[in-house]
Structure 1
Amino acid sequence: MLKVSEHTIDIVLRVISNESVNLPIGWIAPRGIQKAVEVFVGYLLLDAWIGNGDRHHTIDVFNRAARYYPEAASIWLNRLESISQANILNIFNRIPNTRISPIAANFAQRIIEFNQHRLLKLRETLP
């Protein structure tokens, strides 16, 4: 496991929760997302969903941020829930076979589905 301080996410959340940090320019936020820190919660969800663990401990970090910003976490989790297995399959079907083997594509889809299930279970624990 990566040697990342547990408090790093707390520092990042504190810094970007500053009112001087704005939403991305030209981006239309989902209803209920009004601050940059709430967008960042969505980034953490995306990283956890796709298993991108190169910067942090994915699901644990999203869960920690969700404790501070449960409304934002809930909004992003609802959006995640709306993504079906058919949606995921459609994305993978557009990737040329020269870029990913069928076995690797199937494996990646199973990981994404597994992580989606784990993330959606977190809703039960949100305040």
Structure 2
Amino acid sequence: MPEQFPLIEVPLDAPEADEDLGTKEKFWFRHHDLGRCLFKKARPNTGEDWAEKIAAELCELLGLPHADYELAVYNDENGIISPSFLPSQKGGILTLGNEVLARIVSNYPQDSKDLSQHTIDNVFNAIGDASVNLPIDWTPPERISYATETFVGYLLLDAWIGNSDRHHENWAFISLQEKIYLAPTYDHASCLGRNEPDSKRKSRLTTKDAGFSVQAYVEKCNSALYARVGDKKTLKTFNAFCEAQQRHPDAARVWLNNLARVSSNDTLELFECIPSNRISQTAIEFAQKILELNQTKLLDTLV
């Protein structure tokens, strides 16, 4: 049995400042080894903590730049902590995707009423600006030279893990010393079927009804990206990656080759590092099946 991931106890007097972004209860605090960290409470029976941790470890297997996450406990409540990925040097500023797009897309909405301008083309145009550099202190794989090529990897990750939350605040730029960098990928808790109750997971794993199978489940996974302005529905995560693949086929091939090197044993070992009181065996089997099915479908595009 692999050694379990470390569990960080957050002191009761740790909170320094609340974080308003997003819907989860969270606060910033300073950890003696990790520096400035964000604690995010995991809502009961949602799997938000283990999903975030596993997603970060899967990023590591793919070679993607990513926010780090550690399992944590605060006031007897489960959660996750993430060290700030802003450079410690004074002046590092995070600019979220909605702010980026508002500068270059006419009448880009700042609310959630109509986000159909959050299109693949608008996002790639923004990231493709010549001033946007690769993520800070990240060594890219061979043949990955641009921020756009890196973002192709983010979309491959989304399609692999079933991340439905790549909305316009879940990608960003970092400004530092008059330079702009793509932020590492972050905030992946909406993945791997982590919110499904075990009863439904078990049914999907064993059913002979194709419409209720795990395969049917993964095929319904929507991204938060649109194909065209005015569309009523977002792209599926797989189709969002395919759109990126059409625009940057060489980069897609790099990330697909990295994915091809990941085995089911590699991913199972990660799940076995999660304490059993945080994830059930059924949840592991369900998540493993999601990864297997999505990996196969993605690798079928490798030509």
Same fold by TM-score, threshold 0.5 exceeded? Answer: yes
2:252 pairs with 1:73 = yes
2:192 pairs with 1:13 = no
- Counterpart in 2 of 1:25? 136
Which of the pair has the greater relative contact order for Cα pairs under 8 Å at 6+ separation?
Answer: 1
**Structure-2 separation of matches of 1:75 and 1:68:** 14
CA drift at 1:30: 0.3
- Counterpart in 2 of 1:102? 281
Note closer, same or farther for the CA distance 1:116–1:6 as it changes in structure 2 (3 Å cut).
Answer: farther
Instruction: Please list, as runs of the form range in 1=range in 2, the aligned pairs for 1:28-67 lying within 5 A after superposition.
Output: 28-55=139-166, 56=223, 57-67=236-246
Aligned partner of residue 83 in structure 1, secondary structure: coil
CA drift at 1:5: 3.8
CA drift at 1:76: 0.1
> TM-score, structure 2 length as denominator?
0.39
CA drift at 1:4: 6.5
Note closer, same or farther for the CA distance 1:87–1:33 as it changes in structure 2 (3 Å cut).
Answer: same
Amino acid at match of 1:72: A
Could you report, residue by residue, the CA deviation over 1:60-107 in whole angstroms, capped at 9, with x for unpaired residues? 000000000000000000000000111011111111111110001110
CA drift at 1:18: 1.1
Structure 1's unaligned 5+ residue stretches are none
CA drift at 1:15: 1.1
Amino acid at match of 1:25: I
Aligned partner of residue 47 in structure 1, secondary structure: helix
CA drift at 1:59: 0.7
CA drift at 1:7: 6.9
Note closer, same or farther for the CA distance 1:4–1:86 as it changes in structure 2 (3 Å cut).
Answer: farther
Note closer, same or farther for the CA distance 1:61–1:6 as it changes in structure 2 (3 Å cut).
Answer: farther
**Structure-1 separation of matches of 2:292 and 2:270:** 13
Runs of 4+ displaced beyond 6 Å: none
- What's the C-alpha RMSD, in Å, of the aligned pairs? 1.6
- Counterpart in 2 of 1:90? 269
CA drift at 1:54: 2.6
Aligned partner of residue 123 in structure 1, secondary structure: coil
Amino acid at match of 2:295: Q
Amino acid at match of 2:298: L
Aligned residues: 122
Q: Which structure has more helix as a fraction of its residues?
A: 1
- Counterpart in 1 of 2:292? 113
**Structure-2 separation of matches of 1:86 and 1:114:** 15
Amino acid at match of 1:11: N
**Structure-2 separation of matches of 1:51 and 1:32:** 26
**Structure-1 separation of matches of 2:125 and 2:272:** 40
- Counterpart in 1 of 2:179? none
